[in-house]
Amino acid sequence: MSVVVKRVTAMLALGGAVLASAPAFADADEDNLVINGDIAIVTEAKAPAHMEYVDTIYSGWRFRSDETQVMQADDFDNPGMIGVENAMEKWAAVDGSEGKSCASCHGDAEESMVGVRPVYPKWNEEAQEVRTLEMQVNDCRENRMGAEKWGYTSGSMVDMVALITSVSRGMPVSVAIDGPVAETWEQGKELYYSRTGQLELSCANCHEDNYGNMIRADHLSQGQINGFPVYRLKNTKLNGVHARFKGCVRDTMAETYSPGSAEFVALELYVASRGNGLSVEGPSVRN
C-alpha cells in the first residue's frame, strides 16, 4: 500500500469573487492510489479546456486523511463494496412482469458494463434526453423488465450504480459536452456558478475558489464526482451524486432541487465534465 504522507502547497490561478484579492492555496496531498495493488487511479490531471479558472483537477480522495484514503486501496477494506455485492444479487434476480433479470439481457456485469460509467450522463437518442445512470437503470426496469422503478436515491439504486461503476475503475471520465447535450451542459454550468441560499454561495465559491482550504473541520476538495457513489463514514452508507448535491445546496441554507430533477441532471453533467481525465473511482470512501 502506497499512502505516503508528504504535503506540498502549490499556488493556483484564482477565480471567482470571494477571494478576488487573495490567492487560493491548493492543499491536495501527494499520495498515490492503487486499488487492490492492481488498478492505478489517476487522481490529478490537467483541467479540461472548458474550465476557465482551474489548471489542475484533483479527485476528492487527495483531500482526505490517510486513514480514510487507505480504506479505498483494498476492496476488502472498502465498505462501499458491500453495496456492490448486494447489487450483484439484484443483477441476477428476476423481477417484474417480463420474467427477466438484468443478467438476462446484459450477461455478466463485469464484462458488459465496462466503459459505461465514464461516459454518463449521456444523450439517449431514442428518448431525446440526457440520462444519468440512475435514469437508465430505471428505464430498463420499467420498460424492459416490467418492474417498478427504484427510488432515485434508494439503497437498491445506489448499490446498482456502485456495481456498474466499480467495473470501470481506472478508466478516465469522458463525458461529452457538445452536440445534443450542449444546452443541458450550459444549464448545469449556470447552476454551478449561481449563488444560492441565505449564505449566497455557489458551488464555485467553495469548490473552485477555496479548495484546499478548511471549512470548519472539513478539508474542501474540488467537489468532483469521479468517486461516486461514495461510502461516507459520516452516514455509513453509499451516497449517490444527487444526494451529495442536495446536501451541499442545503448547506448554503437554500431550498434544494430534488434528486432526479432536470436541474440536478444538468448539474451532474456539468460537474462530471469538470472531472474529464480523472479516473472513475467509485465506490470511493470519504468522511
Partner 1 sequence: MASGVRPRVKVPKTASAGEAVTLKTLISHKMESGQRKDSDGNVIPRSIINRFTCDFNGQNVIDVTLEPAISTNPYFEFEATVPESGEFKFTWYDDDGSVYEDSAEITVA
Supply the minimum distance, in Å, between the C-beta of residue 136 and ligand HEC: 5
Helix, strand, coil percentages (3-state) for the chain, rounded to 5, are 35, 15, 50
E strand or H helix at 247, and its extent?
Answer: helix 241-251
End-to-end distance of the chain based on CA atoms, in angstroms?
A: 20
Supply the minimum distance, in Å, between the C-beta of residue 26 and partner 1: 32
User: Based on the number of CB atoms within 10 Å of its own CB, is 234 exposed (0-12), middle (13-18) or buried (19 or more)?
Assistant: exposed
- Tell me the three-class secondary structure of 187-241, residue by residue: HHHHHHCCCECCCCECHHHHHCCCCCCEECCEECCCCCCCCCCEEECCCCEEECH
Q: Is 79 in the site for partner 1 (CB under 8 A)?
A: yes
E strand or H helix at 130, and its extent?
Answer: strand 129-131
Q: Is 77 in the site for partner 1 (CB under 8 A)?
A: yes
Residue labelled with grid coordinates 482551474 = 54
- Report the partner that residue 207 touches, choosing among ligand HEC, partner 1, none (CB closer than 5 to 8 A by kind): ligand HEC
Q: How far is CA 267 from the centre of its chain?
A: 11
Among 201, 238, 269, 285, binds ligand HEC (CB under 6 A): 201
- Report the partner that residue 60 touches, choosing among partner 1, ligand HEC, none (CB closer than 5 to 8 A by kind): ligand HEC
Among 52, 76, 111, 216, binds partner 1 (CB under 8 A): 76
Q: Is 206 in the site for ligand HEC (CB under 6 A)?
A: yes
Q: Which residue lies nearer to partner 1 by CB, 38 or 178? A: 38
Q: How far is CA 92 from the centre of its chain?
A: 25
- Report the partner that residue 164 touches, choosing among ligand HEC, partner 1, none (CB closer than 5 to 8 A by kind): ligand HEC
- Rounded Cα distance between 249 and 7, Å, is 30
Cα torsion 148, 150, 152, 154 to 10°: value is 150
The DSSP result for 144-181, as a single string, is II--PPPPTT-HHHHHHHHHHHHTTTTSBP----SGGG
Q: Which residue lies nearer to partner 1 by CB, 79 or 170? A: 79
Among 35, 137, 157, 167, binds ligand HEC (CB under 6 A): 137
Supply the minimum distance, in Å, between the C-beta of residue 58 and partner 1: 28
List active site positions.
Answer: 248
Q: Is 86 in the site for partner 1 (CB under 8 A)?
A: yes
Residue labelled with grid coordinates 462501499 = 80
Q: Which of residues 220-259 bind partner 1 (CB under 8 A)?
A: 236
Q: Which of residues 118-177 bind partner 1 (CB under 8 A)?
A: none
Supply the minimum distance, in Å, between the C-beta of residue 222 and ligand HEC: 7
Size of the site for partner 1 (CB under 8 A): 7
Residues that bind partner 1 in the complex, under the rule CB under 8 A: 76-77, 79, 82, 85-86, 236
Contact positions vs ligand HEC (CB under 6 A): 60, 63, 100, 102, 104-106, 116, 124, 126, 133, 136-137, 140-141, 144-145, 160, 164, 201, 203, 205-207, 215, 218, 220-221, 223-225, 227, 230, 244-245, 248-249, 251-252, 267, 271, 286
